[in-house]
């Protein structure tokens, strides 16, 4: 087992990473000082696969267990679902000595985390992420949220888990498309923050695609370390945390415009990173062969780098609405070579012109 500690003073916690860790969840909760009832928040898909193992482990460590299912899908990451979780927590008699276990991908983690942050003014929670995206990104760092009809993640809180338990074996049942989309976020860490990690990904691309356990655990560990470093320096997202938005400005806009699930998040980020790399070459911040390496690695992970056809005016609108644009300019994350990022202030019009999108 590998352990990464996120050092945030009294809010510090461990991320445990390895193959076959689910049966150790109960003991992990005990060693974090958790008590009482464990409310496992999950969805029917993940519950059917891993619910029994999680419940058995919690029971054998002496916890009472309640299971709360929410429907599967981003469209249910909303206040109606959150209210149903509060109802179920009250029904199950949860008190402030009890805790929540978020078992699932980023949707479950974000919503269950926000429920934990707010129920009885905050009860402890544990993340058991089961998608690659959740294991390398959303379960670490303490951002919890639900969506609002006017926008994604508009209602939320910074609230750290007590423990993150990552069993890489759970990825074996993940649809291939979701797995590859998660790899886009993995590549992001390499481009924005760590050039030797990027080179490691190039060497290990086949092992990663084959989901070799050791390689996967090493890669997830490095992503968690990088995210932890960023979060430790910038818990509440005042600056440095922006580096993790690499590829996300254009990616997000394309994700919104491409229509429901024609691009999943990681796929849009892959396109956004390819565009960002080309833009940075145009601006002289990286070389053409850096761009070529980035495109090649994304391609070897089965990620397309071809943007969907979009209208200029719609793209401009989407960029203007991006909550990361302030005072008319966008903090665009650039790659300086591979492994180092910088922030460029660009107007949406400048960014569009550099991207070559929208005709």
Ligand X SMILES: NC(=O)c1ccc[n+]([C@@H]2O[C@H](COP(=O)([O-])OP(=O)(O)OC[C@H]3O[C@@H](n4cnc5c(N)ncnc54)[C@H](O)[C@@H]3O)[C@@H](O)[C@H]2O)c1
**Short-list 249, 252, 245, CA closest to 230:** 245
Number of H helices, E strands in the chain: 15, 12
With vertex at residue 296, the alpha carbon angle to CA 306 and CA 343, rounded to the nearest 5 degrees, is: 75
Residue from 18, 26, 51, 105 in contact with ligand X (CB under 6 A): 105
- Is 121 one of the catalytic residues? yes
148 is catalytic: no
Between 115 and 352, name the residue whose CB sits nearer to ligand X.
Answer: 115
Query: Shortest distance, CB of residue 359 to ligand X, whole angstroms?
Result: 30
Please name which of 265, 263, 281, 267 lies closest in space to residue 356, comparing C-alpha atoms. 281
Residue 130 binds ligand X, judged by CB under 6 A: yes
> What's the distance, CA 19 to chain centroid?
20
Torsion angle defined by CA atoms of residues 153, 227, 255 and 310, in that order, rounded to the nearest 10 degrees: 130
Is residue 134 near ligand X by the rule CB under 6 A?
yes
Cβ proximity to ligand X, 19 vs 329, nearer residue: 19
How far is C-alpha 178 from the chain's CA centre? 12
Q: Which of 22, 25, 26, 43 binds ligand X (CB under 6 A)?
A: 43
Q: Which residues of the chain form beta strands (DSSP E)?
A: 2-6, 13-18, 37-42, 64-69, 99-104, 125-129, 143-148, 151-158, 163-167, 325-326, 329-335, 341-346
55 an active-site residue?
no
The footprint of ligand X on this chain (CB under 6 A) covers a number of residues equal to 28
| By the rule CB under 6 A, 74 interacts with ligand X | yes
Copy the structure tokens of residue 219.
């890669």
CA dihedral 30, 31, 35, 39 (to 10 degrees): -70
Active site residue 324: no
Q: Could you say which of 121, 150, 176, 236 is catalytic?
A: 121
Nearer of residues 8 and 295 to ligand X, judged by Cβ: 8
224 binds ligand X (CB under 6 A): no
Stretch binding ligand X (CB under 6 A), from 3-11, 60-68, 103-111, 347-355: 103-111
Residue 59 falls in the annotated catalytic set: no
The residues that bridge with 129 in the sheet, in sequence order, are 104
Length of the chain: 359
Which range, of 133-141, 289-297, 336-344, 351-359, touches ligand X by CB under 6 A?
Answer: 133-141
Catalytic residue status for 267: no
* Distance, CA of 270 to CA of 295 (rounded, Å): 9
Is there binding between residue 170 and ligand X (CB under 6 A)?
A: yes
Catalytic residue of the set 74, 178, 232, 237: 237
Please, how many CA atoms are within 13 Å of residue 124, restricted to the half-sphere of its CB? 20
Angle at 3 between CA 216 and CA 201, to 5 degrees: 30
Q: Considering beta carbons, is residue 167 or 290 the nearer one to ligand X?
A: 167
Smallest separation, CB 142 to ligand X (Å): 8
The answer to whether 42 contacts ligand X (rule: CB under 6 A) is no
55, 77, 143, 293: the catalytic one is: 143
Q: Does 185 participate in catalysis according to the annotation?
A: yes
Among 138, 245, 325, 355, binds ligand X (CB under 6 A): 138
Among 143, 162, 252, 293, binds ligand X (CB under 6 A): 143
**Per the residue annotation, which of 55, 77, 222, 252 is the catalytic one?**
252
Q: What are phi and psi of 298, to 5 degrees?
A: -60, -45
Torsion, Cα of 176, 257, 335, 156 (10° steps): -80
46 contributes a contact to ligand X by CB under 6 A: yes
- Annotated active-site residue 241? The verdict is yes
* Residue 255 in the binding site for ligand X (CB under 6 A): no
Residues that bind ligand X (CB under 6 A): 43, 45-46, 49, 72, 74, 77, 104-108, 110, 130-131, 133-134, 137-138, 141, 143, 152-153, 170, 173-174, 178, 265
Catalytic sites, residue numbers: 121, 143, 185, 227, 237, 241, 245, 248, 252, 265
């Amino acid at each position: 087992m590998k352990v990464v500690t996120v050092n945030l003073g009294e809010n510090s916690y461990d991320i445990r990473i390895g193959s076959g860790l689910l049966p150790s969840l109960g003991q992990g909760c005990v060693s974090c000082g958790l008590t009482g009832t464990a409310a496992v928040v999950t969805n029917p898909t993940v519950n059917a696969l891993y619910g029994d193992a999680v419940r058995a482990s919690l029971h054998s460590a002496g916890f009472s267990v309640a299971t709360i299912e929410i429907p599967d899908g981003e469209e249910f990451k909303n206040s109606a679902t959150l209210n149903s979780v509060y109802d179920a927590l009250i029904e199950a008699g949860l008190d402030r000595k009890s805790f929540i276990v978020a078992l699932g991908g980023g949707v479950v983690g974000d919503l269950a985390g926000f429920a934990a942050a707010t129920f009885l003014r905050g009860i402890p929670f544990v993340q058991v992420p089961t998608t690659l995206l959740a294991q390398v990104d959303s379960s670490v760092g303490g951002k919890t949220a639900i969506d609002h009809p006017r926008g994604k993640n508009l209602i939320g809180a910074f609230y750290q888990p007590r423990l993150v338990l990552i069993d890489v074996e759970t990825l074996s049942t993940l649809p291939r498309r979701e797995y590859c989309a998660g790899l886009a976020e993995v590549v992001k860490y390499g481009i924005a923050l760590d050039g030797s990690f990027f080179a490691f990904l190039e060497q290990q691309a086949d092992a990663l695609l084959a989901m070799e356990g050791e390689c996967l655990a090493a890669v997830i560990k490095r992503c968690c370390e990088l995210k932890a470093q960023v979060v430790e320096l910038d818990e509440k997202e005042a600056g440095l945390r922006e580096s993790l938005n690499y590829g996300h400005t254009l990616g997000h806009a394309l994700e919104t415009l491409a229509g429901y699930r024609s691009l999943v998040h990681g796929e849009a980020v892959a396109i956004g990173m390819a565009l960002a790399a080309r833009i940075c070459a145009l601006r002289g911040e990286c070389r053409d062969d850096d761009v070529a390496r980035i495109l090649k690695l994304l391609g070897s992970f089965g990620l397309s780098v071809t943007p969907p056809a979009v209208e200029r005016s719609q793209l401009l609108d989407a960029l203007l609405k991006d909550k990361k644009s302030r005072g008319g300019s966008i903090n665009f994350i650039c790659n300086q070579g591979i492994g180092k990022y910088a922030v460029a202030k660009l107007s949406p019009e400048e960014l569009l012109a550099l991207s070559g999108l929208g005709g």
